[in-house]
Structure 1
Amino acid sequence: MGVNAASLLSHLLRSTHKSTSLPTDAKTLTKTILSHLNTGRLGKAVSILFAFPESFDFSLYAHLFKICASNRAIVEVRKLESHLFTFNPYPPVFLLNRAIEAYGKCGCLDDARELFDEMPHKDGGSWNSLIIAYSQNGFPEKALNLFLNMNNGGIIANEITFASVLGSCGDVLALCFSRQIHGLVLKYGFCGNVILGSSLVDIYGKCRIMSDARRMFDEIENPNAVSWNVIVRRYFDMGDGKTAVFMFFEMIKTNLRPLSFTVSNALIACTSIYALKEGVQIHGVAIKINVEEDEIVSSSLIDLYAKCGELVSAHIIFDLPSSKNLINWTSMVSAYAMSGRTREARELFNEMPERNVITWNAMLTGYKHSCQWEEALDFVFLMRKVTRDVDHVTLGLILNLSAALLDVELGKQVHGFAYRHGFHSNLLVGNALLDMYGKCGTLRSARYLFYDLIGSRDKVSWNSLLTSYAHHQMSEEAILLVWKILGETTPSKYTFGTLLAACANIFALEAGKQIHGFMIRNGYEIDIVVRGALLDMYSKCRCLEYALKVFKEATARDLILWNSILLGCCHNKKGEKVLELFELMEKEGVVKPDHITFKGILLACICEGRVELARHYFNLMSQQYCIIPRLEHYESMIELYSRYGFMDELKDFVKKMPFELTAPMLTRVFDACREYRCSRLGKWAADRLNELNPTVPFRFEIMDKT
């Protein structure tokens, strides 16, 4: 309400009170008003003041504005302002500042701004009150613009104003503006203020300039608990959990009592780096300062122990009297479910006094994580009966279930539900739909949906479509999309992994080389998965030299990478290279071979005619590496003996096999016996083949070598 309205309000109030008998004077009424305030009857106190046709002492107005602000009592604030202006056409500036503060606390920024604009005289407190009002009500841009106007008007800000402005800078990540404010703080001699120092640490941290944040923190002479909380939190937000935990322990060395928020942040940082030992130590600190049962601390402890696999410890915290809230119930359900202990998770879930959509999602995620698809489907049906709480995460999980079960009809029902309830524009749901249609083989629907996502689709969308193409032998179509992907988004290394697999499927060497070169030029990480895809592509495209180079450049090699290069050499008929690489593998001793490794070795022996060496490696499988030979290993040995005419060894080998020979094995023995004139074994093989398939009789005859 403006100053110009004062005379009108005065007239209305005076005319109203002409017929009202007032029992007492202002001094006595003040005591009555204060008595009502002491008993918590703010509305009654303001009503008494509003009904009295004279002004009160300014200190009473100031006191009432302050109480109204803390109680967010907007009606009473407006009554106070009306009464103040009615009987004091030109009230003091400090009272108007209190009124602006009260409007700000009540969220009535238009009233605050109107009063500010109509003030004939303003001081620094007036500007500060409105800046704080904008800052605290989520209008940081207006707060910053107002500060600029204040500064241009030559009004010097105080520490409180600077703190509010820096908070607004943090909300909009205005780094350049923050540096200018920092300069003003230094200029006006406020550099020793711990609140401003902490605010600067916060803004630099939020803007991801941790070097400046740390330097600013180190300049604070006596950082308080808030300062330490800020630096710990900002390191964690930057993904540097190790330094966040280190800073927490540095704080403990100062004998300063940490805030419960700081303890929680440090525990979350431990969780992010799976630092269980440090987390247990922080737990001890929490017990010592009596914040273990604080809601945010107990939740962080449960999360830490659960994610580090210490479910017993997590349950002990959960059993504390103050810990049985919805968040912790959900955390425990999720912990058991994600650990594969879905039975215990479901028991906890069934005991919950209340649930929300996050709880349902946690249980469903557990079933998905354990690939318990039938149980997940039953749980979805229960969920639809019991609750209507569904969000985009729920729909995404049900679509994952549809994809796993190849149940396109369920997926279509979810698609319809999403469209009817406004979830179809959610990218997570869109990508899950795309994945579901692709895995279910409904590529036409997948393509339509993909192009319907234009404008919002991301690298996950592209990966889903490419994977669908590759899975359904549409590698050429996948490769043709490469340049479209680059024009729309920044592909991930997994995108390129899928494309390299497509190149391998159709022997597209040039396309594979271009993808490899693009990744190198643009600084992509060639991790062990991508390296395996490159190795496979070069091997299948008959470019073994490049495959070997990719293999040798690997700083770490797992079993999959070793097997890929061994089979790649076999594919390129380089048996000696396989045997050489296997010797290197044994010499390094880091990776132990498996059945696939020995399949490659036996194929190499076949390629090179190394019968005795093959027999040595076949026996080595079980004797040294405890690997039971599989069907393919027996097939390789039969092929080896048969191809090179080791008929006595072949006869001995097939007689000692722990299972009956398959038709292809018998056929290979039969053909070898005909070629090498081994009648007795040949007739035995023919008899076995005739037993397996009497409709096509085999008759052994010696081949005429002329």
Structure 2
Amino acid sequence: MLRSAIRPDSYTLPFLLLAAARYPAPSLARAAHALLGKIGLNGHDHTVHSLITMYSYLDDPGAARKVFDGIPTRDVVSWNAMMKAYGRVGMNGEVGRMFRDMVKEGTVAPNAVTVAVVLAACRDQGDLVLGRWVEEWSWSARMEMDSLVGSALLGMYEKCGEIAEARRVFDTIIDKDIVAWNAMITGYAQNGMSNEAISLFHSMRIAGMRPDKITLAGVLSACSAVGALELGSELDGYASRRGLYSNVYVGTALVDMYAKCGDLDKAIEVFRKMPCKNVASWNALICGLAFNGRGDEAIQHFQLMRNEEGLKPDDITFIGVLSACVHAGLVKDGKRWFNSLTPEFQIIPKIEHYSCMVDLLARSGHLEEAWDFIEKIPDKVDAVMLGALLAACRKCKNVEIGERVINRIIQLEPTNSWNYVVSSKIYASSDRLDDSAKMRGLMRERGVNKTPGCSWVEVSGKVLEFYAGDEPQHGADDMYQVLDLLVDEMRLEGYVPNLDVEVLPWASVYAAIHCLVSRSLQVGCVLDAKFVSLWLGWHEPEMVYSGNMDAKWLLMQKWVKLYYFSEASALIKFARIRSRKRAATVPATKPARQTPENTPKAAARRDGGTLSAT
């Protein structure tokens, strides 16, 4: 253009400035700025706005501010451009100061874009005070709560942990678009309110909104947390039909969901279908394999990630690797990988890595070594690693080390009932009944109540919650009986009850048993592992299988996942157990009920037919 002797104008040069910024080409950008001065376009609105944006992309807010300060008459676009420049480089405090200056001057009124930029800065900085002030100013300025402002505002509240405030804002947004729905769903999921996220997703579908990749990532995260495998599978089908498998975030969320719901075969299948994988994708699979007890496979995929894909593992990768060593009992390998974190991978160990090492040593019976390890990192010790060591002390009946741990963990978590209960049992197992009673007395004195065990199960797309001690609900009138049958079968398989533990009510597993026997559905039940030994009361309950290996029980330190895949042989076994027990216990005067063992379908199965999930 210059060779053709055509003079660029104020509409041509901004495109050159933005191209130079995004390339990025700093030398070309500064040459273009100099050209503006030569042809007298330094003060034109279009060019100054583009200059500010250009320097923000070049991470040079100082140069952008010089341009801004040189504008004789600033408009709202120039103010917004400068605030965006500060926000892009993380100078969120400057964004807030500029907004206050803008309001104080009063010559230019902030618009919706201004408010959205400031609220984004408040979100990133966690500045709830300024965020509330911006909302109050918006209402006083009679600014319409459209999707742009509303989404930014609820995003700020969510990041600051004010979920109720975020929902209040969401409900006031006029004409909610997909951005607003996604912001609220993601906020629920990230703040541990998974059921609310799933419920809002259903409301979104009723409202006629079509989920996009961000929606799927948020809802799949919620499904992972509550074991909503049925809904997760439906979203998998939707992603496949919409061609969203190519999106690495959706694919990773699916792998994570299937892994956390215990369906590792499906997780691996989705992983292999992904055309593009990043470190997060590999992490989801490695951690999923590790947390589900398949440590050797997790290590194999870690080696594939490094050697064949050439990806550099991060700190999350090594949480999965160390967890794999924990569940596979690979003490030497775990030590080797932990010691290589900084020298070989330039990763500074975090508290999660230290916790894995304590867990690894404790589970393998190296209690003294685990305690020495904790003593070397006093500033990194938390209740998680102490809890792992305390559980191991109870298992090994090591009161000496257990007493040291008790003193530390109760200081860190004085209101956690699990600490007192396990401590009391450690003393009781060594016939120190007075100390055991003192621990329970201290628990009462401090007003600490035993936290009821909780589990949840998805049935027909709805997540049902059960708490230990609750009355049977959700139509589970015969779950006690079925559970008793399962206990009898476990005894027949050779498992002996551990009489040293107090068995809590079984309400938390009713839903899973009910679905196994009477509904033939593929379901998941997630239990808090702190209560596993109390619920089951078996010696060494690391793996409990039915005789034909179709009903899978996997007990792990952090989570317990019970999965049943509705194959005919397994269901028939449960049905026959139940039938045998009912024949001996149900009064003859009681009318016969339609149960899985006396239905026509069950008869067909016993005669060699097949069972399909219904």
Q: Which TM-score bucket, shorter chain as reference?
A: 0.5 to 0.7
Instruction: Report if aligned partners of 2:213, 2:244 keep a CA contact under 8 Å in 1.
Output: yes
Corresponding residue of 1:675? none
Aligned length: 478
SS at the partner of 1:226?
Answer: helix
What's the Cα RMSD here? 4.8
Residue 449 of structure 1: CA displacement?
2.0
Corresponding residue of 1:265? 218
Of the three residues 183, 196, 208, the one matched with 2:136 is: 183
TM-score (norm 2): 0.63
Specify whether residues 517 and 122 from structure 1 end up closer, same or farther in structure 2 by C-alpha distance, changes over 3 A only. Answer: farther
For 1:257 and 1:595, locate their aligned partners in 2 and report how far apart those are by CA, in whole Å.
Answer: 48
For 1:305 and 1:429, locate their aligned partners in 2 and report how far apart those are by CA, in whole Å.
Answer: 24
Equivalent residues in 2 for 1:112-127 (5 A)?
A: 112-119=64-71, 121-127=73-79
Corresponding residue of 1:130? 82
Residue 121 of structure 1: CA displacement?
4.7
Corresponding residue of 1:243? 196
For 2:536 and 2:354, locate their aligned partners in 1 and report how far apart those are by CA, in whole Å.
Answer: 42
SS at the partner of 1:145?
Answer: helix
User: Structure 1, residues 483-522: CA drift from partner, whole Å, max 9, x if none?
Assistant: 4434445575443343122221334444434433444566
For 1:399 and 1:277, locate their aligned partners in 2 and report how far apart those are by CA, in whole Å.
Answer: 30
SS at the partner of 1:504?
Answer: helix
Corresponding residue of 1:324? 275
Specify whether residues 204 and 221 from structure 1 end up closer, same or farther in structure 2 by C-alpha distance, changes over 3 A only. Answer: same
Specify whether residues 388 and 472 from structure 1 end up closer, same or farther in structure 2 by C-alpha distance, changes over 3 A only. Answer: farther
Equivalent residues in 2 for 1:101-120 (5 A)?
A: 101-119=53-71
Corresponding residue of 1:275? 228
Corresponding residue of 1:600? none
Residue 360 of structure 1: CA displacement?
5.9
Residue 313 of structure 1: CA displacement?
6.8
- The answer on 1:526 being equivalent to 2:479 is no
- The answer on 1:427 being equivalent to 2:351 is yes
For 1:71 and 1:401, locate their aligned partners in 2 and report how far apart those are by CA, in whole Å.
Answer: 43
Corresponding residue of 1:501? 425
- The answer on 1:254 being equivalent to 2:207 is yes
TM-score (norm 1): 0.56
Corresponding residue of 2:380? 456
Higher strand fraction: Structure 1 or Structure 2? 2
For 2:271 and 2:335, locate their aligned partners in 1 and report how far apart those are by CA, in whole Å.
Answer: 40
Letter of the structure 2 residue corresponding to residue 431 of structure 1: S
Letter of the structure 1 residue corresponding to residue 430 of structure 2: I
Specify whether residues 185 and 517 from structure 1 end up closer, same or farther in structure 2 by C-alpha distance, changes over 3 A only. Answer: farther
- The answer on 1:479 being equivalent to 2:479 is no
Of the three residues 11, 17, 20, the one matched with 1:65 is: 17
SS at the partner of 1:29?
Answer: coil
Letter of the structure 1 residue corresponding to residue 92 of structure 2: P
Residue 100 of structure 1: CA displacement?
0.8
Specify whether residues 289 and 252 from structure 1 end up closer, same or farther in structure 2 by C-alpha distance, changes over 3 A only. Answer: farther
For 2:403 and 2:129, locate their aligned partners in 1 and report how far apart those are by CA, in whole Å.
Answer: 44
For 2:133 and 2:432, locate their aligned partners in 1 and report how far apart those are by CA, in whole Å.
Answer: 56
SS at the partner of 1:326?
Answer: coil
Instruction: Report if aligned partners of 1:396, 1:429 keep a CA contact under 8 Å in 2.
Output: yes
Instruction: Report if aligned partners of 1:175, 1:204 keep a CA contact under 8 Å in 2.
Output: yes
For 2:322 and 2:254, locate their aligned partners in 1 and report how far apart those are by CA, in whole Å.
Answer: 33
SS at the partner of 1:223?
Answer: coil
Letter of the structure 1 residue corresponding to residue 207 of structure 2: T
For 1:441 and 1:313, locate their aligned partners in 2 and report how far apart those are by CA, in whole Å.
Answer: 34
Of the three residues 188, 192, 209, the one matched with 2:162 is: 209
User: Structure 1, residues 88-116: CA drift from partner, whole Å, max 9, x if none?
Assistant: 39724553232112211232222212333
Residue 177 of structure 1: CA displacement?
1.3
Residue 191 of structure 1: CA displacement?
1.9
Residue 196 of structure 1: CA displacement?
0.7
Corresponding residue of 2:601? none
Corresponding residue of 1:48? none
For 2:312 and 2:42, locate their aligned partners in 1 and report how far apart those are by CA, in whole Å.
Answer: 56
Residue 162 of structure 1: CA displacement?
0.8
For 1:404 and 1:253, locate their aligned partners in 2 and report how far apart those are by CA, in whole Å.
Answer: 43
User: Structure 1, residues 149-200: CA drift from partner, whole Å, max 9, x if none?
Assistant: 3323334312211110011111122222111111111222222433112212
Question: Bigger radius of gyration, 1 or 2?
Answer: 1
Corresponding residue of 2:117? 164
For 2:415 and 2:57, locate their aligned partners in 1 and report how far apart those are by CA, in whole Å.
Answer: 47
User: Structure 1, residues 413-438: CA drift from partner, whole Å, max 9, x if none?
Assistant: 55654574466743233233334444
Identity between Structure 1 and Structure 2 (%): 22
Higher helix fraction: Structure 1 or Structure 2? 1
Of the three residues 25, 29, 34, the one matched with 2:6 is: 29
Specify whether residues 221 and 456 from structure 1 end up closer, same or farther in structure 2 by C-alpha distance, changes over 3 A only. Answer: same
SS at the partner of 1:113?
Answer: helix
